[in-house]
Amino acid sequence: MARPSADTVISKELDYYHMDIMESEGYWIITYQNKPVGLRHRFYTIEGVKMKYPRTGFNNYAHCVRLAAKLNKLFGTDLFECQSVA
C-alpha cells in the first residue's frame, strides 16, 4: 500500500519541469548520544581517496528510523536515534 501524498502548498511550472512546494510532517535528524552527527563514506580508488557525505536529515520520519536502525546494527549499539528538529 502506497503512502499518502503530502498536500501541495504552491506549484510553479518552469521551462522543462514543475516545482511543487509540499507540506512536511516535520524534520528529523540522526543523533548519536543525543548529539547531531554527519556521515562520511571513504572510497579508496586508483586516483586516491574519494568521499561521499550521505544525508542525516529527513523530511520523512520513516527514512530517519530506517537509517538509525541500520547504523545501530552496523556499530552494535542502540545509541543512534531520530530526533525532531523544531
The predicted model scores a pTM of 0.77
Is the predicted pLDDT of residue 2 greater than 90, yes or no? Answer: no
Q: What is the pLDDT of residues 72-81, one digit of tens each?
A: 999 999 999 9
- Tell me which residue of 40, 38, 35 sits closest to 79, measured CA to CA: 35
Distance CA 38, CA 59 (A): 16
**pLDDT of 1:** 65
**pLDDT of 43:** 93
Q: What is the pLDDT of residues 36-74, one digit of tens each?
A: 999 999 999 999 999 999 999 998 899 999 999 999 999
- Spell 38-76 as b/e; 16+ CB within 10 A means b: eeeeeeeeeeeeeeeeeebebeeeeebeebbeebeeeee
